[in-house]
Amino acid sequence: MLFRQKGRIRKKENEHLIALLEKVKDELETQKSFLRKSVDPPQMMHYQLKLTEAKYLFLLREARIRQAAKIN
């Protein structure tokens, strides 16, 4: 019984991780697009882009370690 609960918790957390990964990926693409279209972007925008890239790469690495997969 304890092992089933552990499996359910892991599955729920993996789903949460995948959802968060998709959200950060969309945010990253939006920021990249905005930066490409800007004539003279502020320096803070570059910092935010780097921060979002770091978040995305961290979440992606974590998903690979956990072997989390998106279930349709």
pLDDT confidence band for 8 (50 / 70 / 90) = confident
Q: DSSP characters for 6-48?
A: HHHHHHHHHHHHHHHHHHHHHHHHHHHHHHHH-SS--HHHHHH
Q: Of 24, 10, 17, 5, give the one whose Cα is nearest residue 64.
A: 17
The dihedrals phi and psi of 46, each to the nearest 5 degrees, come to -65, -40
What's 67's DSSP letter?
T
Residues 30-67 have pLDDT tens digits of: 999 999 999 999 999 999 999 999 999 999 999 999 88
pLDDT for residue 68: 79
| Greater model confidence, 19 or 66 | 19
pLDDT for residue 17: 93
